[in-house]
A and B are shown apart, each in its own frame.
Chain A
Amino acid sequence: MLEIQSIECVRDDRLLFSDLSFSVADAEVLQIEGPNGSGKTSLLRIICGLRLPDAGKIKWRGETIASNREDYYADMVYIGHLPCVKADLTVLENVRSLLDTRSLSLSNSIIEAALAKVGLASYEDVPGKALSSGQRRRILLAFVELSQAKLWILDEPLTALDVQGVELMESMILEHRQAGGSVVFTTHHGMQLDCEMRSVQLGQNKRKLQQDQDGC
């Protein structure tokens, strides 16, 4: 259960948002919406704990993330704009390296199955530099899939993905939700998600928390 309590963000002397509160329960999908520059990325980074809010608290399962860092990070995974892919490591090594920071050692066959799922089936030994940007993003998708995280925080997850990639992401989110996990994301592209989804609007005078039913 993620709780955002009265957070405020100032960036470059501009107040992006203040007194923003909302929560994300298990099996919930939440979209952060807003025009460019409204603070969506900053908000996600604050939720991750990468950036401190100028006011307010973030709580995970009742405790602030500052006091509960280890458990929070074990339970959540974040992908941002950057691909996190090392040009000189193979696809398999890249995924392993990302999982290693979470102290997850999975067998090769499990990783290969995830790679197949994201459409990188025979690419295990291909070095990062030989991949297109869409393929690099798919490595991140495999990482998220294998991360064993309850909370997914995704900043523009559809970046560089083709049509199949977008469908893949959508189905992954739905599966995760069905398994009881939660997702917080932002996107400029439309995502057709076949389920209930809430949204938080930034960039307006007062934050509105909207209920958005999207074709069930």
Chain B
Amino acid sequence: MLKAYYHLLMRDLRLALRNRHELANPLIFFVLVVTLFPLAVTPTPDALRAMAPGVIWVSALLAVLLSLDRLFKQDYDDGSLDQLMLSPNPLMILVLAKVTAHWLLTGLPLVIIAPLLGLFMSLPMDAVSVLIYSLLLGTPVLSLVGAIGVSLTVAVNRGGVLLSLIILPLYIPILIFGANAVDVATDGLPVTGQLLFLGAVLALAVSLAPLATSVALRITASR
């Protein structure tokens, strides 16, 4: 079972790395969207600092949302998804492998580039480290919960907007706590509560989301 997880994870990573040019897109999108905000307002350091947590977090959300398509679309289109569902291994484990690959390719780069964006938005150093922690805990949840949404919409034509409609309300708690953690850190206050909440949500998501995703995939396959 662990071997199946590992092999599928490697396969997805290998596939993505052979299309390297596509990998950068969510990242560039993330930076681009954040850049739009200073351009839209008077970019004084104080104004930027005030809106930074929200702006960076919402942009991260959108970047992950846009990249969710890659999770199942190709497999659905070429028939590999059927083969995954016919595996003697539990579908949950295979789903977890794909979500892990997705996070490594999408969420993790966002976390790594976040300090640069902190700089763009005049965030103090303490806040930047909290930004990194909050994104580190939050982006896997975005991938996990997003997987549920994609598995429901992968067979729908032009399902991208539908996906956003379904997933964004579910992302709201992570957004609230993630953005608030950074906000509060800007004032130098402790953020353990917020990070604990994010950690708890992550634990919940890891245990429940793959199950929901497998059920959703079987529903989608039954057309």
Q: Do A and B bind each other?
A: yes
Q: Which residues of A contact B (CB under 8 A)?
A: 45, 48-52, 69-71, 73-74, 76-78, 80-86, 88-89, 93, 96-98, 100-103, 105
Task: Decide: B78 and A86 in contact? CB cutoff 8 A.
Answer: yes
- Listed by A's residue number, 23 A-B pairs whose Cβ atoms lie within 8 Å are A48-B86, A50-B82, A50-B222, A51-B223, A70-B88, A74-B88, A77-B86, A78-B82, A81-B79, A82-B79, A84-B79, A84-B82, A86-B74, A88-B14, A88-B15, A93-B14, A96-B7, A100-B7, A101-B94, A102-B87, A103-B1, A103-B4, A103-B88
- Determine which of B3, B80, B82, B84 lies in contact with A103 in the assembled complex, contact meaning CB atoms within 8 Å: B3
> How distant is B84 from chain A, measured CB to nearest CB, in Å?
6
Closest to B4 in A: A103
* A98-B1 Cα distance, complex, nearest whole Å: 15
The residue of chain A having its C-beta at the shortest distance from the C-beta of B18 within the complex is A88
Q: Is the CB of B221 within 8 A of A50?
A: yes
Chain B residues positioned under 8 Å from A85 (CB to CB) = 78
Report yes or no: B78 in contact with A83, Cβ–Cβ below 8 A: yes
Q: Determine if B44 is an interface residue (Cβ-Cβ < 8 Å).
A: no
**B-to-A contact residues, CB < 8 Å:** 1, 3-4, 7-8, 11, 14-15, 18-19, 74, 77-80, 82-89, 94, 218, 221-223
Q: How far is the CA of A49 from the CA of B19 in the complex (A)?
A: 33
Instruction: Please tell me if the beta carbons of B84 and A101 are within 8 angstroms of each other in the complex.
Output: yes
Cα A77 to Cα B79 with chains together (Å): 14
* Contact of B78 (CB < 8 Å), options: A48, A71, A74, A82: A82
Q: Across the interface, do B83 and A100 meet the contact criterion of CB distance under 8 Å?
A: no
A102–B18 touching, CB < 8 Å? no
The contact of A101 among B15, B19, B87, B221, by CB within 8 Å, is: B87
Which residues of A lie under 8 Å from residue B83 when comparing CB positions? 78, 84, 98, 101
